[in-house]
Amino acid sequence: MSWRLRVVFSLAMVIVLPAGIAAQTGDTYAEEYDLYEKANQETNVAQRAALIIEFVQKYKKSQLDPNVAYLYSQYLDG
């Protein structure tokens, strides 16, 4: 994936994702989102990967799964 496409996708997520937060339901959504944001903001690649793995292990089914999958794909791309 080119860096331009990543930038566009990231900007779209910054605009769209927060707008949908108010509509989310579930007891753990706020915690899930906090962990997702922590992983998204992490600059150390190894720590980012660890946070992504922690998210997947802790939240087996999450509304944020597509977002976490994108972060993981960035990790795999290097």
For residue 34, what pLDDT is reported?
Answer: 96
Q: How many structural domains does the chain have?
A: 1
Range of the domain at 61: 3-77
Cα–Cα distance, 73 to 21 (Å, whole number): 23
Tell me: the pLDDT tens digits for 21-76? 544 557 899 999 999 999 999 999 899 999 999 999 999 899 999 999 999 888 78
Compute how many other C-beta atoms are within 10 angstroms of the C-beta atom of residue 70. 17
Q: What is the DSSP letter of 62?
A: -
> Structure pTM?
0.65
